[in-house]
């Protein structure tokens, strides 16, 4: 049964990319339900009362859904801070779009920024209720690889285009997508970073 290459696959898009990787689904998959983060602090993780009060409703600031989402957010923000950039606020709207896309990549057996129906990252963000179409997206996939946020982040750092995307000054928000599925071939992992701005075409 063919699905994807066993090595790490990562890809980048600011609006849309082309080329599809077709594949069949694993039979009888088991989806692991991640646990909720137990150490999210609203002050240290950029959810101050001022930000909550001033954020637009379409952003929907909040806490990451699971520990895996939280770990990726922390690593991403620490990396940006180490490079002299602002930490990103966490958008539940972007998280919803990213999580839904991770699930769709698995269900429909493809790996690309452009879905078979022609929709791209901006379409998914808007469909989830986000404010603007100016978004960026990093994707990572691994079969028995990229099993942690740290491994996915390292893959992004090692890829010049993904690294550039993570270090863009104009981003204000991020939402993380994550899916883990076990099947006959092993365990597959999908990671999504979906970035957004406070103002369109910022």
pLDDT in the model for residue 193: 97
Residue with tokens 């990103």: 88
Q: Give dist(CA 190, CA 5) in Å, integer.
A: 14
pLDDT in the model for residue 36: 45
Asked if 138 contacts 162 with a C-beta cutoff of 8 angstroms, the reply is yes
pLDDT in the model for residue 55: 62
pLDDT tens by residue, the chain, 202 residues: 334 443 344 444 332 232 222 232 233 333 444 444 444 443 334 444 444 445 677 888 999 999 999 999 999 999 999 999 999 999 999 999 999 999 999 999 999 999 999 999 999 999 999 988 899 999 999 999 999 999 999 999 999 999 999 999 999 999 999 999 998 889 999 999 999 998 654 4
φ, ψ of residue 53 in degrees (nearest 5):
-75, -35
Residue 127: both structure tokens together: 């469909």
Strand partners, 143: 188
Does the global pTM surpass 0.85?
A: no
Task: Say which residues have a Cβ less than 8 Å from residue 163's Cβ, sequence separation at least 6.
Answer: 156, 157
Asked if 191 contacts 152 with a C-beta cutoff of 8 angstroms, the reply is yes
The H or E element containing residue 121 is: helix 121-128
pLDDT in the model for residue 120: 93
């Amino acid at each position: 049964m063919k699905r994807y290459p066993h090595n790490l696959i990562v890809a980048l898009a600011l609006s849309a990319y082309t080329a599809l990787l077709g594949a069949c689904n694993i039979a009888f998959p088991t989806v692991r339900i991640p646990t909720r983060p137990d150490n999210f602090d609203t002050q240290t993780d950029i959810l101050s009362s001022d930000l909550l009060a001033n954020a637009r409703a379409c952003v929907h600031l909040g806490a990451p859904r699971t520990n895996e989402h939280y770990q990726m957010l922390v690593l991403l923000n620490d990396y940006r801070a180490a490079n002299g950039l602002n930490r990103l606020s966490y958008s539940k709207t972007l998280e919803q779009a990213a999580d839904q896309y991770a699930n769709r990549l698995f269900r429909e057996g493809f790996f690309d920024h452009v879905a078979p129906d022609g929709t791209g990252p901006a379409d998914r963000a808007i469909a989830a209720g986000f404010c603007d179409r100016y978004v960026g997206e990093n994707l990572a996939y691994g079969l028995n690889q990229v099993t942690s946020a740290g491994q996915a982040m390292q893959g992004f750092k090692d890829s010049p285009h993904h690294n550039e995307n993570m270090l863009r000054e104009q981003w204000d928000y991020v939402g993380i997508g994550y899916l883990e599925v076990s099947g006959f071939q092993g365990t597959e992992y999908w990671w999504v970073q979906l970035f957004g701005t406070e103002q369109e075409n910022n």
